[in-house]
Amino acid sequence: MNLGKRFYDLQQIDLDLEKKAEALSQVESQLSHNEALTEAKAEVERKRENLAGLEKKEITAEWVVDDLEAKAGPLQKKLYAGSVKNPKELMGLQQQVEQLKSQIREEEDKTLEIMSQIEALQKEVASRAAEVKKLEREWQKRREQLLAEQAELSSTIDIAGAKRSELAATIESAHLELYETLRARKQGQAVAGIEQGRCQGCRITLPVNELMRARMGEVVQCDSCGRILYLG
């Protein structure tokens, strides 16, 4: 196979390898994180923490009610037992009982408010948790697809890499160096075809002697853009 053709094939492999490596790195980046799922999980976690805080508040509020009832109970008994005869003392006792009862009502209202907040938050947690489950199921599927893509790309890259090594082994090292230098300088386009006497890299019309040398399979670089010329 003439040298120009080998360079051309090498370039095709390299361009293809670059594309596949880019695709692989995208697949791997997608595999490494799922922001929507992570965010949804964190939100459920935050809501659960809030819920636990409210549940503690509810227990504390209930204790306060219990305490107040424990205080009010004996006083009320005393009030209705009829043992207190002194009107002033009786009035004082009545006031105390009334005050405690109103405190109890207030605390009970607070407890009810907390309970309704708990109920609302429980619903939110349940619905967000269901969403997380759905996202997890979707991610599971997507992940399987991505893993399959990753495996396929890896194997394609391995095969192309082996082909490249085989082909590169047939090219002198000085020529390979020239190719690599040009490849780096010309965004991967180190080799240019010749069509109708023009370099396809820069479109300049090539001198006849260059065309003839290229036809004989020599390594010829375009005078204008420096690319290795390939006459197909």
**Hey, what amino acid is at 131?**
E
- Please state, as a whole number, how many other Cβ atoms lie within 10 Å of the Cβ of residue 79: 16
Alpha-carbon distance of 57 to 77, in angstroms, equals 30
Report the residue number, 27 or 199, with the smaller CB distance to Zn ion.
199
Q: Which is nearer to Zn ion, 39 or 195 (CB)?
A: 195
| Bridge partners (DSSP) listed for residue 194 | 199
Residues in the chain, total = 232
Question: Cα–Cα distance between 2 and 166 in angstroms, integer?
Answer: 15
* Residue ranges binding Zn ion (CB under 5 A): 199, 201-202, 222, 224-225
4 versus 201: smaller Cβ distance to Zn ion:
201
Q: How far is the CB of 171 from Zn ion (least distance, A)?
A: 21
Judged by CB, which is closer to Zn ion: 178, or 199?
199
Furthest C-alpha separation in the chain: 134
Q: Minimum distance from CB of 227 to Zn ion (Å)?
A: 5
- The CB-of-212 to Zn ion minimum distance in angstroms stands at 17
Minimum distance, C-beta of residue 223 to Zn ion, in the bound complex (Å): 8
Are 220 and 229 a contacting pair, CB within 8 Å? yes
Q: Residue 45 and residue 53: Cα distance in Å, rounded?
A: 12
The sign of the dihedral angle between the CA atoms of 161, 166, 171, 174 is positive
Q: Which among 121, 140, 129 has a CA at the least distance from the CA of 40?
A: 129
- The label of the residue with tokens 């120009």 reads 4
> Least distance from C-beta 202 to Zn ion, angstroms?
3
Q: Which two tokens stand for residue 102?
A: 């109103």
Q: How far is the CB of 188 from Zn ion (least distance, A)?
A: 15
Pick between residue 3 and residue 40 the one whose CB is nearest to Zn ion. Answer: 3
Nearer to Zn ion (CB atom), residue 8 or residue 153: 8
